[in-house]
Copies of this chain bind each other. A is one copy, B any other.
Amino acid sequence: MIETVIRKRIEILADQAQARRVTDIIDKTGITGWTITPVTSGKGREGRWREERVMGTDKVFILTIASQENAAALAEKLAPILTSHGLLLTMWDVEVIRGERF
């Protein structure tokens, strides 16, 4: 059986305009990479929104796979701006192959 190791998967929902700020922080934390996926619409305390890239109001998901320490370090760095920058962060354990890459 193929060997897997446990890593943390972190998922951050952010305004498109804030994506660069978040990925810069990921890079600085020393995490090896990230992946951005699109988001269509949502609802939160501030009401409903739809993707309206023309008006720059759309959001994206930023995913990154990291070791437990790097994940903790990233959460620590993002925590202060979560509310002011309207970010949503969740994380959970996943199994990966080729664990040395993350």
Q: Which residues of A contact B (CB under 8 A)?
A: 1-2, 4, 7, 9, 13, 23, 27, 32-45, 59-61, 65, 72, 75-76, 79, 82-83, 88-98, 101
As for how many copies of this chain the complex holds, the number is 3
Q: A1-B72, A65-B90, A92-B92 are in contact. List 7 more A-B contacts (CB 8 A).
A: A4-B91, A32-B44, A36-B42, A37-B37, A79-B97, A83-B98, A89-B96
A39 CB, min distance to chain B CBs, angstroms: 5
A4 to chain B: which residues have CB within 8 Å? 75, 91
A60 to chain B: which residues have CB within 8 Å? 40
A75 to chain B: which residues have CB within 8 Å? 2, 4, 97
